[in-house]
Amino acid sequence: MTFAGNDVHKRVYSDGLTTVSLFVESLESAETTLLQEGVHQLGVSAVAVQHLVTLKAVGN
């Protein structure tokens, strides 16, 4: 995925009984402390947070 500015990408997966929403957005390094990795319980919903780093090599 390619991000520009404050883009947020959303995907929704469903089997007709259960629905899973996936939100992907770019984070600044200072923001990563706000979203601790792991599984968190928010009311009746569970939220899983994982930070991924993508590196792009440019040159010869």
Residue-level pLDDT at 25: 74
Tell me what the pLDDT averaged over the chain comes to: 76
pLDDT bracket for residue 28 (50, 70, 90):
low
What per-residue confidence (pLDDT) applies to 42?
Answer: 81
pTM score, two decimals?
0.48
Which pairs with CB-CB distance under 8 Å and at least 24 residues apart come from 26-35?
27/51
Could you tell me the sign of the dihedral formed by the alpha carbons of 34, 37, 43, 44, in that order? Answer: positive
